[in-house]
Structure 1
Amino acid sequence: MVITPFTDEEIKKLRSETKGTQHRVHFNNAGSALPPDVVIDTVTGYLQEEAIFGGYETEAKYAAQLDNTYELIARLINAEKEEIALVENASVAWGTAFNGIDFKPGDEVITCEMEYVTNILGFLNAKKNHGVVIKVIPNDEQGNFSLPALEAALSPQTKLIAITHIASTAGGMVPIVAIGKIAQKHGILYLVDACQSAGQLPVDVKEIGCDMLSVTGRKYLRAPRGTGFLFVKKTFQDKLKLLFIDGFSAPTVSLDDFTPRNDARRFELYEKNRALTLGLSKAVEYALNIGIDRIWQRVQHLADTMRQQLSAINGVTVHDFGSEQCGIVTFSVNGVDSINVKNKLADKHINVSVGKAISTLIYMEKNHLVSNVRASVHYYNTVEEIGVMCNELSVLFVN
């Protein structure tokens, strides 16, 4: 497939539609990307209407647009509208899926060393409360997830494969499509954490073959904070326990029984922020209009450029590994605490983040890392901005 690259004029236009790019160099997209102006205008405009006309009345006016959010998300990940539930963030989405599984003592959960801390806590909680056994598949010597090791770890007790596609504090990627083929071959449940993936690169749940997938809005989708969604395959929805129930998730109720909704919205509750929902909708639409394949191509180009320039600086070590890498670039400056690097760059109006050991505990401990600097690029960033950051690093810490 031929992908049309961004032109300089297009990048200028996209940056002009994002106020934040005029004030800072923002390399913290894996934390919270700068939203397009249209997303902010959508949220604030809706809130203003609520203030004037009332919350329920404004919701009724925008009912079609709110409902269309599910259609847009379904397009984004190649799912069905009925397989999408809107939640506050990826942790809520992941927890709703994971804790809804009917675990029995001795059930095995297989995961990878790149798992996020919230997911690890979920595993430990299941181990404590249900007697679940946790198996971790380590990366090989090249830093890649080992598919043969996964096959070897499977047993009749394997209940779930739970994988984070892109880690919080590393630039490598886990082969979720290949893992999905193994899960399907053996009839094992498959949960994917795509928190850092959606909006950065193509995510196709049919290609992945997952039963559940969790996403947040604030990262590469450029949506407001406090937004996210959960995908649950239609054929699995009835098998997942409901952790919370209200009149929205179970609209048919008597004094003796209730019937949940017949779609993934059974995993939602009625009360949610409609303004943020429309903001998420607008952000997804914005990404789809640009083209996820195009976004992914540019993100890879910018991340590769950043790694090359950082590696050329004496005293800077890039920590990313694996045959496939993403828009997250992690590095350290010899002899300088990562928080100090972050703060010094912030003084120069350059946003980066600090990857803490707790965030990706298994990977960080294995590689003896206490922390690292995380610089994450998006399509609206430029090669010139990368040069600015690398120059500041050279001036601040090397010379």
Structure 2
Amino acid sequence: MTGTLDVARLRDETPGCASGAHFNHAGASLPNAATVAAVTGHLRHEALHGAMEAAAGAGGTIAAARADAAVLLGAAADEVAFTTSGSAGFGLAFAALPKLRAGDRILVGRQEWGGNLATMRAAADRAGAGVEEIPCRDDGSVDPDALAAMIDDRVRLVSLTWLPANGGLVNDAAAVGRVARGAGVPYFVDAGQALGQMPVDVGAIGCDVLAGAGRKYLRGPRGTALLYVRSGFAERLDPAFLDVQSAPWSGTGPARRTDARLFEMAETPVALLLGLAVALSQARSIGADAIRQRIRHLADGLRAQLAGIAGVTVRDLGTERSGLVSFTLDGMEAQDLRERLAPKGCASARTACPTRRSTWRRGGSARSSAPR
């Protein structure tokens, strides 16, 4: 036991734990048997009765999943939408912002996820706007004071990847939020590595939009994600497209939703959402504090053991650190190390991820997440 987290029971409930040590929660965690059963059971139901008929009975479970997600985020249920990936959620919300104009500015952290950065750069290039990097503190984290000095009336968005995907750094998302909120600038947070790993409170962060995948520390199915849109902020957004879910028809025509479900479509992966419902329920019952404690214990232990190996250098930045552990081994490329570890049952150690600005500054590194 660690706090209220019964590790032995959780491992027994997870079939993949019998296959070796899983070091890739930052990419995708191992689902438990109940999550898998929810997905496969619904697919069998679809096969027997038809997809539409099967979906008709799933509404209550999906509503419960939305409520669980809201509790985990510190949000209201109508501020939560389900999307297919964190990148999709971020992209949908970004595309709904007012169009950029020449001279507009977007301010991003050094560790911005490559997909988000590509989306913002493409829009900025079309408009003649700019994407600028916020300076970092000495520990590598985004500097809120430097951000404050950059704010002017041309800034249209502040975007932060809270926990970068290629190292253990934890940015001070709440401090960045105070600057953005004080300036009245929209604030987007990529929380892909934070959801399910540590407590999340969107009110304390002060963000307008927060997105993250269900497949990582939440241990949900791939192809699921959460998108938070602050109440009232959705009314300021203009989605790139609508359908009968995001804009239901009435006698006078389509009525666009004014909550987060403005970004949901009528066609949804019901089986995957039912699997996500199980994962969310479990995460809520365990509690983010207990999960964070367990992950910190494992990550700190892994860093200490790696630091004791000749030729290994731990590369993690930051004062507060997450469960992502990055390191280099003298004389060996990251991909070669991954291939060497695979036969030893460490099948999911990963090479450095496309958080490009940060990775280039630090040199390529291997990345892993401490096994749970």
TM bucket by the smaller chain? over 0.9
Matched, 1:168 2:171: no
Matched, 1:248 2:241: no
Distance in 2, matches of 1:232 and 1:348, equals 43
Instruction: Report the aligned-residue RMSD.
Output: 1.6
Secondary structure of 2:60's aligned partner: helix
Write the letter of the residue equivalent to 1:141: D
Secondary structure of 1:235's aligned partner: coil
Write the letter of the residue equivalent to 1:233: R
Matched, 1:271 2:264: no
1:189 and 1:211 in contact (8 A); partners too: yes
Matched, 1:217 2:210: no
What percentage of aligned pairs have identical amino acids?
Answer: 35
Distance in 1, matches of 2:333 and 2:2, equals 41
Residue 257 of structure 1 deviates from its aligned partner by: 5.5
Partner in structure 2 of residue 37 of structure 1: 33
Residue 139 of structure 1 deviates from its aligned partner by: 2.1
2:110 and 2:358 in contact (8 A); partners too: yes
Q: Which runs of 5+ in 2 are unaligned?
A: none
Residue 107 of structure 1: which of 104, 107, 122 is its match? 104
Matched, 1:360 2:355: yes
2:174 and 2:205 in contact (8 A); partners too: yes
1:31 and 1:353 in contact (8 A); partners too: no
Partner in structure 1 of residue 369 of structure 2: 376
Residue 154 of structure 1 deviates from its aligned partner by: 1.0
Structure with the bigger percentage of helix: 1
Distance in 1, matches of 2:29 and 2:283, equals 13
Write the letter of the residue equivalent to 1:5: G
Matched, 1:22 2:15: no
Higher mean alpha-carbon deviation, 235-244 vs 199-208, is at 235-244
2:212 and 2:225 in contact (8 A); partners too: yes
Secondary structure of 2:43's aligned partner: helix
Residue 133 of structure 1 deviates from its aligned partner by: 1.6
1:85 and 1:268 in contact (8 A); partners too: yes
1:352 and 1:374 in contact (8 A); partners too: no
Distance in 2, matches of 1:85 and 1:142, equals 34
Residue 234 of structure 2: which of 233, 237, 254 is its match? 237
Write the letter of the residue equivalent to 2:313: T
Residue 6 of structure 1 deviates from its aligned partner by: 5.1
Distance in 2, matches of 1:353 and 1:233, equals 36
Residue 244 of structure 1 deviates from its aligned partner by: 2.2
Aligned pair count? 371
2:312 and 2:329 in contact (8 A); partners too: yes
What are the within-5 Å matches in structure 2 for residues 70-149 of structure 1? 70-102=66-98, 103-149=100-146
Secondary structure of 1:294's aligned partner: helix
Residue 4 of structure 1 deviates from its aligned partner by: 6.5
Residue 264 of structure 1 deviates from its aligned partner by: 1.5
Deviations 1:243-269 (A, max 9, x none): 221111111267x95321232212111
Higher mean alpha-carbon deviation, 266-275 vs 192-201, is at 266-275
1:299 and 1:327 in contact (8 A); partners too: yes
Partner in structure 1 of residue 3 of structure 2: 5
Distance in 1, matches of 2:356 and 2:116, equals 11
Partner in structure 1 of residue 223 of structure 2: 226
Q: Which runs of 5+ in 1 are unaligned?
A: 382-399
Secondary structure of 1:351's aligned partner: coil
Residue 237 of structure 1 deviates from its aligned partner by: 0.5
Matched, 1:258 2:254: yes
Distance change (3 Å), C-alpha of 1:138 and 1:351 = farther
